[in-house]
A and B are shown apart, each in its own frame.
Chain A
């Protein structure tokens, strides 16, 4: 007797076995002639410059933080969504208040500009300024 999770487990198991067997077979079949260039990081044909371990922009972190909060919200909405229909309008209002409270947070973020992506602001050169500096 299989539960739904049992089916998922078989699916994961098959996926893992498929990947392992494919990699294992291809290790024996493929020719192995490594050169120095093959071990370089692929950067669209250019020679890689510097280390790939660079510092990321702080904006990613803020977006991930906001995402995490809404992730928890979705998790709490799952059980509500399964049950609310049996309570009629009351069940609907319960979820509505929950969503409105979090919508308030969303509006706050929006107003404060946390959802804006901090772009670099390039200054396009202007003709009269160039002429001024030259003269």
Chain B
């Protein structure tokens, strides 16, 4: 077990444990805060995979943007505490069978797939290469992304706008 493995399991544990808290907490504000650690753990795993740009995007957009939006969405609701979230177990046996089959399939694939293992190497930075591609080969997509964001901006604002009296 190398140092790399230890860091991986640390981030995986952060992600899974906080995700468990997200679904099990009764107060939805606490759920939103636990989601922060889930996003953070996922960002750590991206870094370990060498996807540095995606990791930064994960932290900037998900932790910095979407989580704030979620918190405001939660705080805009009338009832925050004492919300009736159904956490009872319904249809225990069919659920157990379904999850068992799914888990079995996933574990079977994990065991019988021939993984191509390569020794870990220092990952190269990707942000500048993405920039070169965005300016040369994918320049149309880059500008279309701008238009897509414009549509999202106008659409979001007109839906969320308070009715003008």
Interface residues of A (CB under 8 A from B): 1, 3, 5, 9, 51, 53, 55-56, 58-62, 64-69, 71-76, 78-84, 86-87, 90-91, 94, 97-99, 101-102, 104-105, 108-109, 112, 114, 118
The answer to whether B149 touches A73, judged by C-beta atoms less than 8 angstroms apart, is yes
Task: Assess whether B105 is interfacial by the CB under 8 Å rule.
Answer: no
Complex: how many Å from CA A61 to CA B162? 11
Q: Which residue of B lies closest to A1 (CB)?
A: B122
Q: Is the interface of A mostly helix, strand, loop or mixed?
A: helix
| Residue in contact with B146 in the complex, picked from A56, A64, A75, A98, CB distance below 8 Å | A98
Q: Which residue of A lies closest to B70 (CB)?
A: A64
Number of A-B contacts (CB under 8 A): 141
Q: Binary interface profile of B, 135-163, with partner A (CB < 8 Å = 1, else 0)?
A: 11001001101110110111011101110
B residues 85-107 near A (Cβ < 8 Å) are: none
The answer to whether B131 touches A65, judged by C-beta atoms less than 8 angstroms apart, is no
- Which residues of chain A are near B77, meaning CB under 8 Å? 55
Given contacts A98-B146, A102-B150, A102-B153, whether A56 and B75 have CB atoms under 8 Å apart is yes
The answer to whether A91 touches B135, judged by C-beta atoms less than 8 angstroms apart, is yes
- Which residues of chain B are near A87, meaning CB under 8 Å? 135-136
Complex: how many Å from CA A83 to CA B131? 5
The answer to whether A60 touches B72, judged by C-beta atoms less than 8 angstroms apart, is yes
The 3 residue pairs across chains A and B that have the minimum distance between CB atoms: A83-B131, A79-B131, A101-B146
The answer to whether A58 touches B75, judged by C-beta atoms less than 8 angstroms apart, is no
Interface size on B, residues (CB 8 A): 51
6 more A-B contacts (CB under 8 A) besides A78-B53, A94-B134?
A56-B75, A62-B157, A68-B69, A76-B134, A84-B131, A98-B145
| Residue in contact with B147 in the complex, picked from A59, A60, A101, CB distance below 8 Å | A101
B residues 117-144 near A (Cβ < 8 Å) are: 122-123, 127-128, 130-132, 134-136, 139, 142-143
Q: Binary interface profile of B, 52-94, with partner A (CB < 8 Å = 1, else 0)?
A: 1101110011001110110011011110110000000000000
| Residue in contact with A109 in the complex, picked from B29, B122, B157, CB distance below 8 Å | B157
Complex: how many Å from CA A53 to CA B83? 12
